[in-house]
Amino acid sequence: MTDIQMPRLSDTMEEGVIANWHKQVGDKVSRGEVVAEIETDKALMELEAYDDGVLEKILVEAGTTVPIGEPIAVLGDGSGAAAEAAPAAAPAPAAAAPAEAPAATAAPAAPAAPAATEPAETPAGGPKPKASPLAKAVAKEKGVDLGTVQGSGPGGRIIRADIEAAASSSPAAPAPAESAPAPASQTAPAVAGDDVEEIPLSNIRKVTAKRLTESKQNAPHFYLTSAIDVTELMEFRGNLNERLQAAGGPKVSVNDLIVKAVATSLRANPGVNVSFAGDKMLQHKRINLGVAVAIEGGLVVPVVKDADRKSVSEIATESRELAGRAREGKLKLDEMSGGTFSISNLGMFGIEQFSAVINPPEAGILAVGAARDEVQVRDGEFVARKILRVTLSADHRAVDGAVGAAFLQQFTSLLEDPLRIIA
């Protein structure tokens, strides 16, 4: 028999959540076939089988957080599947799995133990019933006593479906009495109640919070802002799209032109395309640009590889494909890894200017706002111009102020003379 282990599906992954199982105990599995979906710190990803066989045991129910390398199922010849079929056949319904996966990340679970080692459950006076974190939360919400519920998960573990069934078959038990409120002078975190709703962190949100907190604590940020006249850039984009569409090509967005201009500026200013690594600096020879994409439950950063060597239309096509797969949770590991610099654009939300947090181990990120009509003085006359503000956040351990300023100066000159972007 072969253990199926929680794999490392991203370079920053430390644990994963079993979002749902595609196979059940007793099912035949072929090499390369999808066995389960795993929610990582970056996306919802498919777990493929490495060997042919029969799924004999499911060790971890849907919704459970598991450290990388821990066994989650057993693949064999089928001889042991019959004994495990009963407990493994009752994971949470597929429709509930996506909602269950993020909730389980609120408290990482310990590695699953073999079913035989779990203590028997008793309604009262015995060991505490085994239940998933989500099941406990739902039981508390619905007033269900865990001691009265028979678990249907592996080893008799109580899962969400058991709580839902118990709640629908009997009147809800009264909710536990609330503890006395803290004195007014005492600061305490808000707790769930009539006025507050607890929303468990998704795995993506949890890891994002951890990494960006470390970034602000460890990397001394400094910020440089430029106001760029993009009047000609807007006109250039309109003319370029007319020609591209006439030739059957893709439309180019302002962000696509920005990505290309950033790539060109990094090629001219390699001192920004670096990483700080303790007692040394890493100079990246490739220019791989991460482009932040907001998705439900967090933020992911797919990477446009070798952006300086691609045309604007190639960048446009690739960026749309990556963003689409990011929102569907179907990005591959290599599409989210290897970034050397990032871009975050909130212009589409009307944000004029902001500062972004560096995405480690990169040394810089460019925050892009919205282009606004502003009055400028040109040749002694007042004229309306489109002004775009961008802010470079840089790691001062790796990038000096003058180096960052030279990069931003180059970038500004490209946007104000847009023909040079595609030259």
Is 146:134 a contact under the CB 8 Å cutoff?
no
pLDDT over 60 (residue 97): no
Q: Please say if 396 is a catalytic residue.
A: yes
**pLDDT per residue over 45-95, tens digit each?**
788 888 899 999 999 888 888 888 889 999 988 776 544 443 433 344 433
- Residues 318 and 310: their CA atoms lie apart, in Å, by 10
DSSP letters spanning 261-309: HHHHHHHH-GGGSEEEETTEEEE-SS--EEE-EEETTEEE--EETTGGG
Is 260:291 a contact under the CB 8 Å cutoff?
no
Task: Calculate Rg over the CA atoms of the chain.
Answer: 26
- Own/partner contacts of 213-218, CB < 8 Å, gap of 24 or more, are 214/360, 215/357, 215/358, 215/359, 215/360, 216/357, 218/360
Q: What angle (nearest 5°) sits at the alpha carbon of residue 194, between those of residues 180 and 151? A: 90
pLDDT over 50 (residue 174): no
Determine which one of 22, 221, 284, 396 is catalytic: 396
Domains and CATH numbers, the chain: 2-104 (2.40.50.100), 204-422 (3.30.559.10)
- Residues 52 and 78: their CA atoms lie apart, in Å, by 11
Tell me what pLDDT residue 46 has.
Answer: 81
Mean pLDDT is lowest, of 86-100, 140-154, 219-233, 341-355, for: 86-100
Q: How far is CA 406 from CA 163, 398, 413, in A?
A: 61, 15, 11
pLDDT band, residue 401 (cuts 50/70/90): very high
Residue count of the chain:
423
* Contacts for 402 with CB less than 8 Å, ≥ 6 apart: none
Residue 126 per-residue DSSP state: S
